[in-house]
Structure 1
Amino acid sequence: MTKTALVIGAGITGVCTAEWLRRAGVKVTLIDRIEPGDPAQTSYGNAGLLARVAIGPIADSSLLRKAPMMLLDPDSPLFLKWSYLPKLIPWIVPFIRNMTAKRIEEITAALLPLTEDSVDQHIALATGTSAAQYIRTGDYFYYYRDRAAFDKDRAHNDLLRRAGFTVIPHDRAQMLAIDPAISPAYSYAAAHPDHGWLTSPGKYVAALADHFRAAGGEFKRGEVVNVTNATVTLQGGEVLTADKIILAAGAWSGPLAKQLGQKSLLETERGYHLFLNGASYVPPHPFMVSDAKFVVTPMEGGLRCAGIVEFGGLTAPRSTAPIALLKKRIRQVYPDLTWDSADEWMGFRPSTPDSLPHIGALPDAPNVIVAFGSQHIGITIGPRLGRMAADIALGKRSNIDLTPYAPDRFR
């Protein structure tokens, strides 16, 4: 019986894991080198979208053909620090292998149970806490340049329909009735009902963590330098022990898991956001700008534009080009938009070659459960992934087949 647990990482997945375990009567210590909700966390800077329809893998069969030109196009949402390329190759090779039609179908089937009830999972976790005030529900849109662009995206929308999602086309007149400030450059859209978003992802994570602490959970600030099957060692030498250890440190999980024999093939996708404080116009719902591959989300105090993929590792400095691109693109969407000031942010998405998270006990350290690798959908699946990790720690059987997320699948 699990009586005590240590959770490494106080981002969305770690906080959710800790809270689910606490509610099950486990004495939990949550560990991170920074406070929950801190701007240095990836959970702080995401698009805030609870993306139920995010079931397509990053590895798309067309990407192999498009990627070289995208990397050379300054208006493309894909960036690479070229000095990092040699370190990226061990990840790229299996990434390409996952571009087959068969693998894409398998990965999509594995992502669906993680995302489809994500709004309900967030509401279940946040109800009764101050975090609930940051959840909004409604439609999520894809904006297209025209009907032809929508038709070109038929494979994606057909995939969503087969998975049970609703896709509602909107012409220009219908778009203007909902979003009257939209540029004439965008004349077609698709609405996806029953979605959600967060008006402040950082405050949301912090509020969940505050509830966890107020209800008896412990938060310990420190940097984890070593993990064994029974212990966690912090910088400075303090050693903590527990019945179960859950590793949910996002992009920083890989080196710690490697100490325990796991080959995680975890890579860092650097994501950027531009937050427009005091934006003169805020849309009533979040949307994806389909041709630019970034999400626009109405949030507390302004408008967040989030997206971009840059491969460059954990230590390279922030690039200026991605932020410049976001500024250019948001003006194409809302030509008359003004704002008081802009905040720029970069964070690290933990991504695997097959777009699936690692979830499960490590074969060589069965008391250590990993829960990381959520790529672009970390905030979306945080409560679901946390519940799954908690259930594994408690010895409960999952109603989801965990095989696709096995921690040893890259051995």
Structure 2
Amino acid sequence: MSTAADHKKPPVVVIGAGIVGVSTAIWLQRDGHDVILVDRAEPGEGTSYGNGGVLASCSIVPVTVPGLLRKAPRMLFDPHEPLFLKWSYLPRLAPWLRRYLAHCTPEHARRIAAALAPIIGDSLADHQALSAGTGAERWLTPSDYVFVYNDRAHFDGDVFGWGIRKDHGFVWDELAGEALRTYEPALAPHLGFAVRLAGHGTIIDPGRYVKDLAAHVVAQGGRILRGEATDFVRKDGRVVGVRIGGETLPCSAVVLATGVWSKPLCRKLGIDVPLESERGYHVELWEPSVMPRAPCMIASGKFVMTPMDGRLRLAGIVEFGGLDASPSRAPFDLLMRNVRAALPGLRWKDETEWMGHRPAPADSIPLIGKVPGVEGAWLGFGHHHVGLTGGPKTGRILAQLVSGRKPNLDLAPYAPSRFQ
């Protein structure tokens, strides 16, 4: 005699327990799905751990702005610039790099910004909705986001990017001279101009935030499985299982959200994504003598100083060198030189260092949506610098798609089919 349990629908398997995967799992549970999170590490220990911690809604302008082609060679040979390359990796990087740099035009930059804005433009509200009632909301703080320049002429040099932000409805206050000193007295005297954007937010401990969200998934009846997904089991054109460590985990659907590690599994699904690791670095200064009142992007060094729980996190730097090479010393040293210049007199008790991997598609637009030609398979990765910022909205969209609902958003720019 069969029971209701015998006919229970298999769970949705979400591969990847970073911010995108955990957000997807929570929204799936709120839609009534049974969920299993799979990751080879503990939740929140990958790229989601080491980001700058800013809910950077205004960060819709891609790295590939007009002029990058002219500036990049000089930047690579200048130890004071935040762009690094492990030269031995260049032959492997070259095919991706050609496609990436082909987007350094005004038209492409505006198109990419138009795609990013719906995913990250309301990040604070998206995180508030995601974290409500989970216990993770204690790590979420509304804040300004401040871009600091040497002077107004320095700011005017970024007119293209600020024009894009203005076109998408972002507004800001200008702070100069005494107004800037009053707002942020710790800044060095040579930093004389800033723009302040309200309505942003800070995650004051990104790793703990994602772990608490994952704990909520478990508290709501979900499971977290430690292991590495290696393949999919298909039947009649539909994914019905995930291969993990020689075993098969049955599923009703699968969501792939493993960031830069998604490429091999995408190939199993018939998609070859031009995806590279954009290696990011951070240094944390514990018990600092000075703490900025809000996250500050120091434009001259392209790094952000974020006040966090008990420490100041310095994050930024772009390095290309693949997934396997060990961290480089120079990016850490540059972050330290930059913060000493920005906050003279800063002292701290201890410091920690981290390097991680941002998932960078060649067109700078994340993949969000159905795998073409495969039923029950969905992708959510490729957010470059804004994975934390866009994770909750991406997870909500994916949960809607798995549930058979149509999001109130044109998903064409994010379609995985563009790389089929």
Q: TM-score range by the shorter chain?
A: over 0.9
| In structure 1, C-alpha distance between the alignment counterparts of 2:230 and 2:164, rounded to whole Å | 43
| In structure 2, C-alpha distance between the alignment counterparts of 1:197 and 1:375, rounded to whole Å | 18
| In structure 1, C-alpha distance between the alignment counterparts of 2:149 and 2:107, rounded to whole Å | 28
**22, 28, 31: which is aligned to 1:15?**
22
One-letter code aligned to 1:146? D
One-letter code aligned to 1:142? F
Contact 1:251 1:266 in 2 (8 A): yes
Secondary structure of residue in 2 paired with 1:141: strand
| In structure 2, C-alpha distance between the alignment counterparts of 1:19 and 1:250, rounded to whole Å | 18
Matched with 1:293 is: 302
**36, 57, 60: which is aligned to 1:52?**
57
Any residues of structure 2 matched to 1:2-81 within 5 Å, and which?
A: 4-38=11-45, 41-81=46-86
Matched, 1:231 2:238: no
TM-score by length of 2: 0.95
Instruction: Report Cα offsets for 1:288-335 as digits up to 9, x if no partner.
Output: 000100111000011000000000111001100000000000000001
TM-score by length of 1: 0.97
Instruction: Report Cα offsets for 1:223-266 as digits up to 9, x if no partner.
Output: 1121242221112x111111110000011111111111111111
| In structure 1, C-alpha distance between the alignment counterparts of 2:177 and 2:208, rounded to whole Å | 35
| In structure 2, C-alpha distance between the alignment counterparts of 1:100 and 1:299, rounded to whole Å | 36
| In structure 1, C-alpha distance between the alignment counterparts of 2:34 and 2:256, rounded to whole Å | 16
| In structure 2, C-alpha distance between the alignment counterparts of 1:366 and 1:2, rounded to whole Å | 16
Matched with 2:351 is: 342
Secondary structure of residue in 1 paired with 2:340: helix
Contact 1:139 1:193 in 2 (8 A): yes
| In structure 2, C-alpha distance between the alignment counterparts of 1:8 and 1:301, rounded to whole Å | 32
Secondary structure of residue in 2 paired with 1:280: coil
More deviation in 56-65 or 373-382?
56-65
Any residues of structure 2 matched to 1:115-264 within 5 Å, and which?
A: 115-228=120-233, 229-235=239-245, 237-264=246-273
> RMSD of the TM alignment (CA)?
1.2
| In structure 2, C-alpha distance between the alignment counterparts of 1:103 and 1:148, rounded to whole Å | 26
The percentage of counterpart residues that share the same residue type is 45
Matched with 1:111 is: 116
CA offset at residue 115 of structure 1?
Answer: 1.0
One-letter code aligned to 1:391? Q
Contact 2:397 2:407 in 1 (8 A): yes
One-letter code aligned to 1:331? R
Matched with 2:5 is: none
**267, 278, 285: which is aligned to 1:276?**
285
Contact 1:275 1:302 in 2 (8 A): yes
Matched with 1:94 is: 99
Matched, 1:357 2:362: no
| In structure 2, C-alpha distance between the alignment counterparts of 1:80 and 1:63, rounded to whole Å | 15
Matched with 1:384 is: 393
| In structure 2, C-alpha distance between the alignment counterparts of 1:247 and 1:152, rounded to whole Å | 39
Any residues of structure 2 matched to 1:391-410 within 5 Å, and which?
A: 391-410=400-419
Instruction: Report Cα offsets for 1:142-189 as digits up to 9, x if no partner.
Output: 000111101222222222111101121100211111111110120100
| In structure 2, C-alpha distance between the alignment counterparts of 1:3 and 1:170, rounded to whole Å | 56
Instruction: Report Cα offsets for 1:310-369 as digits up to 9, x if no partner.
Output: 001110011000000000000000010000111000000001111110111111322110
Contact 1:57 1:354 in 2 (8 A): no
| In structure 2, C-alpha distance between the alignment counterparts of 1:37 and 1:242, rounded to whole Å | 23
| In structure 1, C-alpha distance between the alignment counterparts of 2:416 and 2:129, rounded to whole Å | 27
More deviation in 340-349 or 102-111?
102-111
| In structure 1, C-alpha distance between the alignment counterparts of 2:12 and 2:24, rounded to whole Å | 10
In structure 2, the gaps of 5 or more residues are 1-7, 234-238
CA offset at residue 4 of structure 1?
Answer: 2.5
| In structure 1, C-alpha distance between the alignment counterparts of 2:417 and 2:345, rounded to whole Å | 51
CA offset at residue 105 of structure 1?
Answer: 1.6
